[in-house]
Amino acid sequence: MFVSLSNRLVVVVTFSRHCLTLLWRLKVTTTLLLATGLAEVSFKDDVLPILSAHCIDCHGPDKQKSKLRLDSAQGILLGGDSGEPAFVAGDSANSHLIKLVSGASPNEVMPPKGEQLSQEQILTLRLWVDEGAQLPGISNSNLPKIETDHWSFQPVMRPVPPFDGNEIDAFVLAKLKERSLTLSPQADKAILIRRLYLIALGLPPTPEEVAAFLSDARPDAYETLVDSVLESPRYGERWARHWLDVVRYADSNGFETNRERKTAYHYRDYVINAFNDDKPYDQFIIEQIAGDAVGADVATGFLVAGPYDIVKSPDINLTLMQRQDELADIVNTTGTAFLGLTMGCARCHNHKFDPILQKDYYSMQAVFAGVTHGERTMNVPKDHRATERIANLESQRLPIEKELKRLRKIAQAKKGDEKARRSAVTFQRNEETFSPTKALFVRFTIRASSGAEPCIDELEIYDSNGNNVALASSGTTPTASGALKGYPIHKLVHINDGLLGNNRSWISDSPGRGWIQLAFPQPQTIERLVWGRDRTGIVKDRLATDYVIEASLDGKEWEAVASSQDREPFNGNSNPNAFVAKLNLAQKARATALIAKSNKLAAEISRLRDGPRSWLANFGKPPVTHRLYRGEPMQKREVVAPDALTVTGTLGMALDEEEQQRRLKLAHWIASKDNPLTGRVMVNRLWHYIFGKGIAETPSDLGVNGISPSNPELLDWLADEFMASGWSVKHMQRLILLSHTFQQSSKPREDAIGIDAGAKYLWRFPPRRLEAEAIRDSMLAVSGALDLSLGGPGFYLQRVQVENVMHYFPKEEFGPAEFRRMVYLFKIRQEQDAIFGAFDCPDGNQVIPKRSRSNTPLQALNLFNSAFVLQQADILTKRLQDECGTDVNEQVQLAFELFYSRPADGYELETSAKMIQAEGLPAFCRALYNTSEFLFVF
């Protein structure tokens, strides 16, 4: 038969696979062949034999063999480990499979060894793909369900305890009996109370608390003690520190500039309060991912708690990679903290071990695609008391501003110049005053700016009674020449919403110019207008430098009431209070005091009106998210919708799903009782922090590459109990702390050491050294110097040298300001406290689910010779002398009770007294700070 193809004549006598080779050599496209109806390639007869014989996967020769093989229909649809789909149905030219087998890249040829596919075989595959790549029994529009038999992905089923009595002890004892072991006897009461306090509170008990417990003969004395410990405000501080490790919290940005985040502490305080209040863990999850949707805006600090590079590159490749790194930090932390999965391993390819596709990684990235880093005003509930307080403060500020206006006029007159001018405009706050004017409209026209499109964060217009009549809540409506598009924080509606700062501002859409107009619901008599570029003082650009303000009753005839013409020229660094220098000494003192008072009132008004500012997640319209080939931002593949893990199903979100809903739906999926990972991960963390080692020893990796649980039945029982209790963390801790497993002795036993030297199966309570924070806090507690004030800005253990690139230097002197609990330390990334940083303290650059416990000479030197330890030894010396006088024996007994929660025995009393007599009381105190019994929990 004759077929005309692009003015060529091709003779085909019979159609066979041999003809395909001929046609390939003649470079006749498969598309044209399909159009003629000549090509019909069968998957079963033609394609599968080729793939099965060569065992092709979707990796290059330098990669390991794919877990998803291409010798089955399911494997082909899912693709190989690279994350690339094996084919694009109908488009062989862009199909990964065809590129590999045809050798499009010399570094990626499949099969990697042995005989390559013939041109005939390759063309067969091309034809099959271009025909639509039909697979028997499977729709190409729906991927086959991924399945796994890995334990952590299986539903949580409540196992039956193997013995009667305490369920935790029963599961532990069952594992011990398999090894011919048993639990140890109960620990002494003095040891038990100290263990309980150090683990639950991170502080030793006082001698009075120990004495009360030892004298309590009631059967439920220990149970009562556990309940009181869990209600202590110190509890939230202790457990918040653990969580802050997990979520990579610190108070600076990291990277080379390492700028401070002076308001990030609000999130830290939220975590402390959440543990103290026993906030249900499912709610805790939802609030940290989507707190702005559920009335807990402060919790979104979780999303942006990690490092952030403020230095952006003009190179588009580097800029896109920076953004990918920011999103990776959010995705990875969400995965490890809540799901116990290493999501980051699927950024460049399908996960090597766990059932996580590369598409899953980018689907979760799409959930967070609208999240950016920065400081902003927290949304907090407003009440009538705040409104009344604002009105009261405004009335206090009004006469102050009038007096300052009078002093400014005096300063201007002293210049002796008919053209005396007001101070130049400033980025933060500018005030225009004029004669009382009746108006229905006010227009602010900008004729020049300090650069780019001008920006105003808020227009405030006051009547003669001091009321801001410009507020949208009063019915005033704005119009403008235009607004810069694509930036959700810069909108027209922000110009009179009552919220100040760059994140609630308007930007013109024209460089250097623009106008904005406010229309009152009824005519108002106005006499003052206040405006600024960024009232918080952070952003300093786009300032209106040449402007005129006009008023009108009909919107047609306008009267200029103020302008920039009577101001000093803007020089980029104007000072609104420069007029003070022109006053005499008495006037200068008066003006300085008034300015300070006015600023204080303004700050309080702003706080009440807008809410406190904090380093939180900022939210904007999410851009389209693509799967990226090998994680390269310039190698975009198909668009992906926001979603969770394919192995668990789909959340069914649309490509254009609203930003907040993306996070809210993901949060509810994570916090669902149907999610097999969430409950297991959290109870395993609790077990880890109580016993020093999790049931699964990799707390943030319950995947295939993690360590399997030593007692899977116990883990599942705890997870089920956790969810059944309403996700109560304190309930679970109470169960564990009341178990004999926790209360047993830590003493070694000859029969067990040879079988389980590390006490993995808990035949005794495993002793361990305290963490850096608990050591420092305990030192302050026994000396009596510890400041137990709750919350607020942190304290510094570094001196700060403020420059573009921040510099931090360890402090060498310490006072009461540094004597707070270490959870309140202003934590600088990439820097460590010179003393306790040596004790494996994380620096906040990455998530730390499990701290290492090193033993180094530097630790010993720091505890023996550092200025802090010497100071605490002196403070403790004074305490012992104040409470015991000069009686050495009493001093020794009190010291032992403070340090070890027990009295000194005869030998200890004798040797301690000799040391004090020979070396002095401060040396004795310093020695106790270095003892293992003080530094360890037993």
**DSSP assignment of 406-433:** HHHHHHHHTT--TT--BPPP-SS-EEEE
Helix ranges (DSSP H) in 207-357? 207-215, 221-230, 233-246, 265-276, 281-290, 316-334
Which two structure tokens, joined as six digits, stand for 566?
A: 């009577």
Coil, strand or helix at 389: helix
H, E, C per residue of 820-831: ECHHHECCCCCC
Local confidence band at 225 (pLDDT 50, 70, 90 cut-offs): very high
- Residue 590 Cα distances to 404, 580, 595, 600, 821, angstroms: 9, 9, 9, 16, 41
Strand pairing report for 2-5 and 514-532: unpaired
Q: Any idea what DSSP says for residue 755?
A: T
Nearest to 721 by CA among 667, 679, 677, 674: 679
Looking at residue 773, its pLDDT comes to: 97
Q: Which residue has the tokens 């996960």?
A: 351
Rounded Cα distance, 261 and 538, in Å: 12
DSSP lists the bridge partners of residue 445 as 515, 548
User: Is pLDDT at 67 greater than 50 in this prediction?
Assistant: no
- Over residues 651-693, the pLDDT tens digits come to 999 999 999 999 999 999 999 999 999 999 999 999 999 999 9
Local confidence band at 572 (pLDDT 50, 70, 90 cut-offs): low
Angle value at C-alpha 767, between 184 and 890, nearest 5 degrees: 100
Rounded Cα distance, 122 and 21, in Å: 9
**Percent of the chain's residues with pLDDT above 90:** 68
Looking at residue 537, its pLDDT comes to: 80
Rounded Cα distance, 264 and 266, in Å: 5
Question: Please, what is the end-to-end C-alpha distance for the chain in angstroms?
Answer: 92
Position with higher pLDDT, 856 vs 50? 856
Nearest to 860 by CA among 850, 871, 869: 869
54, 146 in Cβ contact below 8 A?
no
Cβ atoms < 10 Å from Cβ of 647: 16
CA torsion through residues 698, 699, 705, 707, sign:
positive
- Over residues 145-194, the pLDDT tens digits come to 778 999 999 999 999 999 999 999 999 999 999 999 999 999 999 999 99
Looking at residue 882, its pLDDT comes to: 97
Angle value at C-alpha 135, between 132 and 137, nearest 5 degrees: 135
Give the CB-side neighbour count of residue 60, counting CA atoms within 13 A.
10
Element (H, E) at 793: none
Angle value at C-alpha 72, between 69 and 75, nearest 5 degrees: 45
Rounded Cα distance, 366 and 622, in Å: 8
Looking at residue 17, its pLDDT comes to: 34
Looking at residue 603, its pLDDT comes to: 79
- Over residues 106-153, the pLDDT tens digits come to 677 777 777 788 888 888 888 878 877 776 665 545 555 778 999 999
Tell me the residue type at 922.
P
Element (H, E) at 774: helix 772-783
What is 818-880 written as a DSSP string?
G-B-GGGB---TT---TTGGGTT---SSS--SS------HHHHHHHHH-HHHHHHHHHHHHHH
Query: Long-range pairs for 383-392 at CB < 8 Å and ≥24 separation?
Result: 386/608, 386/609, 389/608, 390/605, 390/608, 390/609
Looking at residue 582, its pLDDT comes to: 81
Nearest to 915 by CA among 882, 885, 899, 892: 892
Nearest to 820 by CA among 141, 203, 225, 98: 203
- Over residues 886-936, the pLDDT tens digits come to 999 999 999 999 999 999 999 999 999 999 999 999 999 999 999 999 999
Please provide residue 780's backbone torsions phi and psi, each rounded to the nearest 5 degrees.
-65, -35
- Over residues 447-503, the pLDDT tens digits come to 999 888 999 999 999 998 888 999 998 999 999 999 988 777 889 999 999 888 888
Which two structure tokens, joined as six digits, stand for 923?
A: 């040396």
Q: Exposed, middle or buried: residue 557 (CB in 10 Å: 0-12, 13-18, 19+)?
A: exposed
User: Is pLDDT at 15 greater than 80 in this prediction?
Assistant: no
- Chain centroid offset of residue 465 CA: 45
819, 786 in Cβ contact below 8 A?
yes
Nearest to 505 by CA among 463, 474, 536: 536
Rounded Cα distance, 847 and 684, in Å: 17
pTM: 0.76
Give the CB-side neighbour count of residue 518, counting CA atoms within 13 A.
31
Element (H, E) at 365: helix 358-367
Peptide bond connecting 111 to the previous residue in cis, omega within 30 degrees of 0: yes
Residues 264-276, buried b or exposed e (16+ Cβ, 10 A)? bbbbbbbbbbbbb
Looking at residue 535, its pLDDT comes to: 87
User: Is pLDDT at 30 greater than 50 in this prediction?
Assistant: no
Lowest mean pLDDT among 57-66, 527-536, 764-773: 57-66
Position with higher pLDDT, 464 vs 767? 767
- Over residues 423-435, the pLDDT tens digits come to 889 998 999 999 9
Strand pairing report for 375-377 and 613-615: antiparallel
Give Rg (Cα) of the chain.
Answer: 35
Nearest to 780 by CA among 861, 835, 854: 835
Tell me the residue type at 140.
N
Nearest to 545 by CA among 574, 520, 518, 523: 574
Rounded Cα distance, 369 and 624, in Å: 8
Query: Long-range pairs for 384-388 at CB < 8 Å and ≥24 separation?
Result: 386/608, 386/609
17, 46 in Cβ contact below 8 A?
yes
Rounded Cα distance, 519 and 442, in Å: 7
Strand pairing report for 506-507 and 458-463: unpaired
Cβ atoms < 10 Å from Cβ of 19: 18
DSSP lists the bridge partners of residue 432 as 529
541, 512 in Cβ contact below 8 A?
no
- Over residues 775-814, the pLDDT tens digits come to 999 999 999 999 999 999 999 999 999 888 999 999 999 9
Spell out the residues 6+ positions from residue 614 whose beta carbon is closer than 8 angstroms to its own: 263, 264, 266, 267, 298, 301, 375, 376, 378
Rounded Cα distance, 407 and 409, in Å: 5
Lowest mean pLDDT among 406-420, 598-612, 700-714, 723-737: 406-420
Residues 315-339, buried b or exposed e (16+ Cβ, 10 A)? eeeeeebbebebbbbbbbbbbbbbb
Rounded Cα distance, 815 and 925, in Å: 19
